[in-house]
Amino acid sequence: MRALNIASTGMAAQEANVEIISNNIANMRTTGFKRQRAEFQDLLYQSMRQVGSSSSDTGTVLPTGVDVGSGVKLVATPRVMSQGTVALTEKTYDVAIKGEGFFQVQLPDGRTAYTRDGSFELDANGQLVTADGYTVLPGITVPTNALSVSISATGGVEATVQGQTAPQALGQIELARFINKSGLEAKGDNLFLETPASGTPLVDNPGAEGFGSTLQSYLEASNVNAVTEISDLIAAQRAYEMNSKVVSSADQMLQSTSSMLR
């Protein structure tokens, strides 16, 4: 019976949906995390009576047809790149982006990754790095005799150095943005990689046209909404249960048919 296979695709789709929702909920407290959503498409149809085909010798046509679908498939899990809540941390090297853009990070293999997680630190050489020790591009080094460091809304980094009255410029934080942010590949560790779908990055200073601004001593929280996720979870559970009931009903119908044929 075809209903068994159709319902099984529905159960598999909702199982994947629950996995996506659970990952969103698990990352509710992950800095800069962008939630995902599941998108589905129906599978191929078997046409038993073709719509628009001739129904008589006089040229009349069928206004509707008979098509039986074969189920559903998970087609995409795009990320919702909306702004997360910005919270004060009072930590000097924490930086949040308010608006468009990603921080650029150099990976150990030389590739450039992109992140919204601005929880930065200094390494043993005074260089600005991520929590995993990856260099924040284009590379900023804080001198050992710096008394304080300030990061402006436009990404300029300055330090008050002992023995000097004027602040010393240390460098410039640059942001990258993409035409299709959802086309970025999630690498894990709060990092994204460029793909042919995302397009090449456009790089400029914070505050430039189309780019967000930077906020020192702030971090961007996850954009996961707990109420929305729980609501989606309940809906996915109900859909799974309904498909499961279809499987049970189809199985009972098969058993009844087999009993009648004996």
* pLDDT at position 13 over 70: yes
Q: Identify the pLDDT of residue 260.
A: 67
Q: Which residues contact 186 (CB under 8 A, 6 or more apart)?
A: 79, 192
50: pLDDT confidence band, cut at 50, 70 and 90? Answer: confident
Q: What is the percent of the chain with per-residue pLDDT over 70, rounded to a whole number?
A: 97
Could you read off the pLDDT of 154-209 as tens digits, one per residue?
999 999 988 788 889 999 999 999 999 999 999 999 999 999 999 999 999 999 99
Q: Identify the pLDDT of residue 166.
A: 87
Kindly give the interhelix angle for 2-26 and 226-261, rounded to the nearest 10 degrees: 160
What is the Rg, in whole angstroms, of the alpha carbon atoms belonging to the chain? 27
Q: Identify the pLDDT of residue 258.
A: 67
Could you read off the pLDDT of 65-93 as tens digits, one per residue?
787 888 999 999 999 999 999 999 999 99
Question: To 5 degrees, how large is the angle CA 182–CA 15–CA 189?
Answer: 40
170 neighbors 128 (Cβ within 8 angstroms): no
DSSP symbols for 90-104: --TTBEEEESS-EEE
Could you read off the pLDDT of 197-230 as tens digits, one per residue?
999 999 999 999 999 999 999 999 999 999 999 9
Cα-Cα-Cα-Cα dihedral sign, residues 111, 112, 114, 120 = positive
Q: Identify the pLDDT of residue 105.
A: 97
Tell me: cis bond preceding 78? Omega within 30 of 0 counts: no
Q: What is the percent of the chain with per-residue pLDDT over 90, rounded to a whole number?
A: 74
What six digits make up the tokens of 3?
């209903």
Q: Identify the pLDDT of residue 230.
A: 95
HSE on the CB side for 203, CA within 13 Å?
12
Mean pLDDT of 93-116: 96
Could you read off the pLDDT of 242-255 as tens digits, one per residue?
999 988 887 777 77
52: pLDDT confidence band, cut at 50, 70 and 90? Answer: confident
Task: Give the residue among 222, 220, 218, 84 at the shortest CA–CA distance from 151.
Answer: 218
Q: Which residues contact 98 (CB under 8 A, 6 or more apart)?
A: 83, 86, 212, 213, 214, 215, 220
Helix or strand (DSSP H, E) at 18: helix 2-26
